[in-house]
A and B are shown apart, each in its own frame.
Chain A
Amino acid sequence: MSQAATELIRISGHAGVVPGKGLNREFQVCKLVDTTTCIGCKACEVACLEWNGYTFSQTTFDNTYQTMPETAWNYWNLIKFNEHERADGTMMLLMRKDQCMHCADPGCLAACPADGAIVQYANGIVDFQEANCIGCGYCMTGCPFNIPKFDPPSRKVFKCTLCNDRVSVGLEPACIKACPTGCLHFGTKSEMKELAETRAAQLRNNSGFQDAGVYDPDGVGGTHVIYVLHDAKNPELYGGLPKNPRIPWSVRVWKAPLKWLGNVAMVGGIVGMALHYMRFGPKKEEPIPPNDDGRRV
């Protein structure tokens, strides 16, 4: 909400062009999460709650180091935990900081029908504007990462803002600030991508993780939160990170071909009926002829 409208590049449910698009200096921000140096301390979870003004929620103990099963409307940042047994019998404790990925091609925004409820800033941040949210939940259907969460009393949907309010005044996101191991980094997309690739190469060459790599999925146009994974071939191991996330095909069909087909059919139908009336006119009742054999009562 704090950035000027001239720094928007996409607006949900918006008829016409985005006002002022391209007027400002555009640089892409990015959060880098190095899962290989995360110790699962959850300082980022606390920092997120602190900055965004939410109280600590009820936690769920399920014999893991995970605070709750998934993120919540008022809990945007969650360390997903997985005890993974490798082929050689050794164990790995996989920790992944789960939050909004700030997709370059956001499914939530594509699915949203409410004008201005979801916006994408020129710096890549995808932000919900709750004042414009109508609570339909379509963003939850459009998101391939299970991120937007519904708050029943307010009937609004919430998610990580990538600390848009901090970033817009030159601060790094609260989670980055709190990380004690330095597994979280924040900078431009190109800088973070370079740093991530350097770290992945280090893991492959020096630490024996042959499949180490960077998670920046193309299916959603790349993301503004990227991961370094020990095993980039199996991202599902990291708390269900999808291998090839995409905007669901039914959302794509609904928002493009079906929309055009429907609009053409509706307008065509109305025009067709008008033409029919002009060509053939009304159906009028005819008098019953005197010799009609329908008996009267």
Chain B
Amino acid sequence: MTTNAVSRPSAEDQNAGTIVRYTFGERVNHWIGAISYIYLLVTGLAFWSPYLYWLAAVVGGGPAARFWHPWFGLIFTASVFWMFKEWYGDMKIDEADRAWGRAIPDYIRNEDDNLPPAGRFNYGQKLFFWLIFYGVIFLLLSGVGLWFTEDLPWNLRFVRYAAILIHASVALATIGLFLIHVYMSTILEEGSFGSMVHGYVTRAWAWTFHRTWFYQVTGRPGAKQ
């Protein structure tokens, strides 16, 4: 974070002003990932259950869904790999995160005062990131197997069997993560959704939810830059 990302509030009001939470590039990439994931979710659920097959009609019918699903999978993979490149440093799990993890029941009960201060991303967000990252690797590998089923020779059919099970299981796990992510970032934690649209959070938001990061970007003495 550069200092010009931080506004200068009046000396009287600690709470006035905003901080850049996500850069333009981060936001654009996030929404590329989000839209491609939603397409994958809609078409994947259509293939998952006969009771949800109508979802395929929403995106142009079964054959179109089957044709585009792998391509959107590649877009989603690229988006997640780009996040990995950009956020690798911010996503490292340290001792403070483990303490935060032990206090997770307090987080669930909204008793956030009992939590250790969090960096740019808290332990829950880091866990979400890493599970999605490894999930994408499994989905990509199994997905290639499903994409080119007809090219797998009969004596390698165990690859088909493994791919079908891995792809469905890992996709289900990511759906759970996706639901939690959407719930928390839209209605649970007020101010989060806007930060992924326009990029800013209030100083109070940063102080409340990501205090270590707040001190880092506002230049508290002794804080790691």
Residue numbers of A with Cβ under 8 A of B are 13-15, 70, 111, 113-115, 132-138, 140-141, 146, 149-150, 152, 155, 248-251, 253-254, 258-259, 261-263, 265-266, 269-270, 273, 276-277, 280-290, 292-297
A294's partner among B160, B187, B220 (CB-CB below 8 A) is B220
Determine the chain A residues whose CB is within 8 A of the CB of B157 once the complex forms: 141, 146, 248
Q: In the bound complex, how far is the Cα of B204 from the Cα of A290, in angstroms?
A: 12
User: If A135-B66, A150-B149, A254-B168 touch, does A287 touch B49 (CB 8 Å cutoff)?
Assistant: no
> Is B180 part of the contact surface with A, judged by Cβ < 8 Å?
yes
* Selected A-B contacts with CB under 8 Å, 13 pairs: A111-B164, A115-B50, A115-B53, A135-B66, A136-B47, A140-B150, A141-B160, A248-B161, A258-B168, A282-B187, A287-B15, A288-B15, A296-B14
B166 CB to closest chain A CB, in angstroms? 9
B146's partner among A137, A280, A295 (CB-CB below 8 A) is A137
Determine the chain B residues whose CB is within 8 A of the CB of A281 once the complex forms: 110
B222 CB to closest chain A CB, in angstroms? 10
User: If A136-B66, A254-B165 touch, does A265 touch B176 (CB 8 Å cutoff)?
Assistant: yes
A285's partner among B53, B65, B208 (CB-CB below 8 A) is B208
Instruction: Name which residue of chain B comes closest to A113, CB basis.
Output: B47
User: If A150-B149, A288-B204, A297-B6 touch, does A277 touch B51 (CB 8 Å cutoff)?
Assistant: no
User: If A259-B49, A266-B175 touch, does A285 touch B218 (CB 8 Å cutoff)?
Assistant: no
Determine the chain A residues whose CB is within 8 A of the CB of B189 once the complex forms: 282-283
Residue numbers of B with Cβ under 8 A of A are 3, 6, 8-9, 11, 14-15, 46-51, 53, 56, 62-63, 65-67, 108-110, 112, 146, 149-150, 154, 157, 160-162, 164-165, 168-169, 172, 175-176, 179-180, 183, 187-191, 202-205, 207-209, 211, 214-215, 218-221
Determine the chain A residues whose CB is within 8 A of the CB of B66 once the complex forms: 134-136, 155
A155's partner among B67, B109, B179, B180 (CB-CB below 8 A) is B67
The answer to whether B220 and A285 touch across the interface, beta carbons within 8 angstroms, is no
A283 CB to closest chain B CB, in angstroms? 5
The answer to whether B218 and A141 touch across the interface, beta carbons within 8 angstroms, is no
Instruction: Name which residue of chain A comes closest to B175, CB basis.
Output: A266
A274 CB to closest chain B CB, in angstroms? 9
Given contacts A135-B66, A140-B160, A276-B108, 14 further A-B contacts (CB under 8 A): A15-B53, A70-B154, A113-B50, A114-B53, A134-B63, A155-B66, A248-B157, A254-B164, A254-B168, A282-B190, A288-B203, A296-B9, A297-B6, A297-B219
